[in-house]
Amino acid sequence: MSAVGYIFQSAYDAEIPDADGQRSALEKYARQLDIEIQYYCFERDSSLRRPFRERKEGAKLLGGLQNGDILITCKAEWVLCSAKEAHKFLSQLEKRGVALYCVDLDANISLPQERKLMVSDGQAGFTRKLLKSLAVCESSKHGEAIRAAKQEMLKEGRYIGGPIPFGWRVKDGYLVKDSEQQRIIRQMKKWRMDRWSYRDIAAKLHDNFGIKLSHEGVRKVLMGDEGRQ
């Protein structure tokens, strides 16, 4: 029988403890279970939405786990990925006779076991904790999907809310050029080519067109217009 500590690391999520912090927590929990962790698996910069079996280190680890082995991790959300994948993952571990302990759930969630007589919040509390972990997995996946969808909408020129850029207007859900404001932008570009400062251009906009823009606003209009060409 071998006990393995699974450590999930991410350079993009400051809320995930560093490797030393996780290792300390795993060792403390293992002592409570009277288990000695033989070695650690370090998963670096994998996405929470990626199934455990498809992660670089996760796949290697699964390939070597045998009947009677124990896998321990700090948070269930780091290994379950989603409700659907969690079912597959836990079923796979159960068939192999591998126990999965999650410190945040304080339980073995892959194999049936006799629990010590203790004061606890029972199955209702455990279920709430598990659902919370799965919700984190799903929200992570949902958030990434939303960001990807917004990027596609922006590429298509769709209006997704927020301030409407100077030189544009919204028509049927899309950003389209405003002919009058585009004419003013062309004049702004001419002034800029003539080496007028952003502050001077802002003053000329007010004098010539009655438009109030700060020098920073002028810069953003010109830079933003270049990015949409």
Structure token digits, residue 87: 């079912």
Q: How far is CA 1 from the centre of its chain?
A: 35
pTM of structure: 0.53
Integer Cα distance of 12 and 65 in angstroms: 29
Q: What is the pLDDT of residue 30?
A: 94
Low-confidence ranges of the chain (pLDDT < 50): 114-124, 127, 142, 145-146, 227
Q: What is the pLDDT of residue 73?
A: 95
List, in order, residues 6 or more apart from 60 with CB less than 8 Å away: 41
Integer Cα distance of 214 and 194 in angstroms: 19
List, in order, residues 6 or more apart from 167 with CB less than 8 Å away: 177, 178, 181, 182, 184, 185, 221, 225
In degrees, rounded to 5, the angle at the alpha carbon of residue 135 between the alpha carbons of residues 130 and 136 is: 100
Integer Cα distance of 218 and 216 in angstroms: 5
Q: What is the pLDDT of residue 176?
A: 86
Residue type, 59: A
Q: What is the pLDDT of residue 117?
A: 36
Q: What is the pLDDT of residue 120?
A: 41
209 in Cβ contact with 201 (< 8 Å): no
Kindly list the structural domains of the chain, giving each domain's residue range(s) and its CATH number in brackets, ordered by start.
3-143 (3.40.50.1390), 168-227 (no CATH)
In degrees, rounded to 5, the angle at the alpha carbon of residue 126 between the alpha carbons of residues 48 and 64 is: 50
Q: What is the pLDDT of residue 129?
A: 61
